[in-house]
Amino acid sequence: MNKQLIPCLYLQAEKAVTGFGQRNLFGDGNVETLAKFYGDNGADELLVFDFSSADAEHDRAIGKIRDICQVSEIPVIAAGNIKRMEDVKKLIYAGCAKVVLNFSKENNIKLLEEVSRRFGKERMMISISDLREFTENQDLIETYADTVLALDTVENEIAEISQISIVLHTDENRSENVLELLGEPAVSGLCGAYVSSLENDLHTFKETCEEAGIPVNTYKSNIAWSDFKLNSDGMVPVIVQDYRTDEVLMLAYMNELAFNTTLKLGKMTYWSRSRNELWTKGLTSGHVQYVKSLTIDCDNDTILAKVEQVGAACHTGNRTCFFKPLLKKEYDDTNPLHVFQNVYDVITDRKEHPKEGSYTNYLFEKGLDKILKKCGEECSEVIIAAKNNDHNELVMEISDLLYHLTVLMVHQNVTVEDINAELEKRSLKTRLLTI
């Protein structure tokens, strides 16, 4: 089984802090930015510790964890201030893959069986700080939990008496010592200082792990480079698309070194034909391309890369290299699949960067009650237009309703992805019923 690298986000007052000690602001404190960084940096999962105490603060923390889950492309594990069934339910519904019950608290020992039966053993982790917390509850933990989070160096002692997966939380920050810990047979994953650092490239560390014989999750190609059909220069062209919009960003070339470096770093790396050298996109500009998928065409001679583009793809500063029109026949090039997302993005931008005179900002300023009132009014207008059998009016009123619903979505932190996921679930259920 591959070993997991799991950064920690320590959450206090909806900001990221440095950890269990002084709890100073970590980076700029933006947890969504950090969550995205960790996913792009090669992390396998993300562990969020909630340092809240009062109920109101805890509810706000859960809301922030929901925001983290929405932007994170790796599974999120929630820990801290979990003491009731309701806490577990809120975190699971917020999008967390697992929750951690602290077994230094008697109430959580009693809670484990109940929440495990409801949400599944695979969602349950147990944190312990000494061996006694495990040995006194071993049968219960092995029956109703999937993993132990060891907050102290007791992983080997647990492994001597149990086969349960163990994630080790450690403050160790030296790479050689972290490598040694991860190499322990008892350890299935590691979290803490080293993997949470903003300075350490986990893709590179994973390469070191593999060289040391430690199995980890890395990018691997299903087809060997030797099976590619190369051009006369020993390269293949790479067409690069935005993974969300399918916008074509650029065309570049890879040789074997560039291809292997891309797999190693998780960042698009090419071979410059003009400079005759390797270049990782964004290394100097910051306009990095994080790999989402690589696909080879039917002839094995062209790669299609879907990426997350940071900033501009083109050296001119344009989003895409393809911005010079040569010829265009008049046609409607609106992509209906992207219209809703574009509207959502504009409304989000208005919320984050208010514009004087903007109706959207007026709605945000007035708050939820005003937005809900407008949604209700527009819904009534849709009904009237439909009853009047007026096609043009109905189109206008439905558009108005969808706009106000989108404002509501942004206000309540409901994303387009949330709606797509729910519709996909319903679509799948429908398809299964017809099989």
CATH number at residue 47: 3.20.20.70
Q: Compute the average pLDDT of residues 352-377.
A: 94
Domain contains 378: yes
Q: What is the CATH number of the domain that holds 393?
A: 1.10.287.1080
Do 205 and 239 fall into the same domain?
A: no
Do 28 and 170 fall into the same domain?
A: yes
**Mean pLDDT for all residues in the chain:** 91
- Identify the domain boundary among 211, 234, 257: 211
pLDDT score recorded for residue 400: 95
pLDDT score recorded for residue 116: 96
**pLDDT band of 55, cuts 50, 70, 90:** confident
Domain contains 323: no
For the cut 90, the answer to whether the pLDDT of residue 62 exceeds it is yes
For the cut 60, the answer to whether the pLDDT of residue 51 exceeds it is yes
Do 198 and 97 fall into the same domain?
A: yes
Q: Compute the average pLDDT of residues 359-364.
A: 95
**pLDDT band of 328, cuts 50, 70, 90:** confident
pLDDT in tens, 186-225: 999 999 999 999 999 999 999 999 999 999 998 889 999 9
pLDDT score recorded for residue 430: 60
**pLDDT band of 341, cuts 50, 70, 90:** confident
Q: Compute the average pLDDT of residues 173-187.
A: 94
300: how many CB neighbours lie within 10 A of its CB? 13
Which domain, by its residues, includes 174?
4-211
- Identify the domain boundary among 164, 179, 211: 211
Sign of CA dihedral 423, 244, 216, 17: negative
pLDDT in tens, 99-151: 999 999 999 999 999 999 999 999 999 999 899 999 999 999 999 999 999 98
pLDDT in tens, 83-103: 999 999 999 999 999 999 999
- Identify the domain boundary among 160, 188, 211: 211
For the cut 60, the answer to whether the pLDDT of residue 435 exceeds it is no
Q: What is the CATH number of the domain that holds 263?
A: 3.10.20.810
Domain contains 389: yes
Sign of CA dihedral 22, 27, 28, 34: negative
Do 10 and 125 fall into the same domain?
A: yes
Percent of the chain whose pLDDT exceeds 70: 97
Do 58 and 99 fall into the same domain?
A: yes
Q: Compute the average pLDDT of residues 235-254.
A: 94
Domain contains 269: yes
Q: What's the number of domains the chain is made of? A: 3
Residue whose C-alpha is closest to residue 378's, from 399, 356, 395, 401: 401
pLDDT score recorded for residue 339: 83
Domain contains 27: yes
pLDDT score recorded for residue 126: 96
Do 128 and 168 fall into the same domain?
A: yes
C-alpha distances out from residue 386 to 105, 381, 390, 393, Å: 59, 9, 7, 8
Do 200 and 128 fall into the same domain?
A: yes
Do 202 and 238 fall into the same domain?
A: no
Domain contains 40: yes
pLDDT in tens, 10-35: 999 999 999 887 788 898 899 999 99
Please provide the size of the chain in residues.
435
Domain contains 326: no
CB of 146 closer than 8 Å to CB of 122: yes
Helix (H, G, I), strand (E, B) or coil at 165: strand
Do 190 and 241 fall into the same domain?
A: no
Phi, psi of 323 (to 5 degrees): -130, 0
Do 263 and 391 fall into the same domain?
A: no
**pLDDT band of 426, cuts 50, 70, 90:** confident
Side chain identity, residue 184: E
Label residue 78 exposed, middle or buried (CB < 10 Å: 0-12, 13-18, 19+).
buried
**pLDDT band of 286, cuts 50, 70, 90:** confident
Helix (H, G, I), strand (E, B) or coil at 327: coil
Domain contains 314: no
CB of 150 closer than 8 Å to CB of 181: no
For the whole model, what pTM was predicted?
0.72
pLDDT score recorded for residue 429: 58
Do 173 and 106 fall into the same domain?
A: yes
Q: 335 or 286: which carries more pLDDT confidence?
A: 286
Do 205 and 229 fall into the same domain?
A: no
Sign of CA dihedral 118, 122, 123, 127: positive
pLDDT score recorded for residue 245: 82
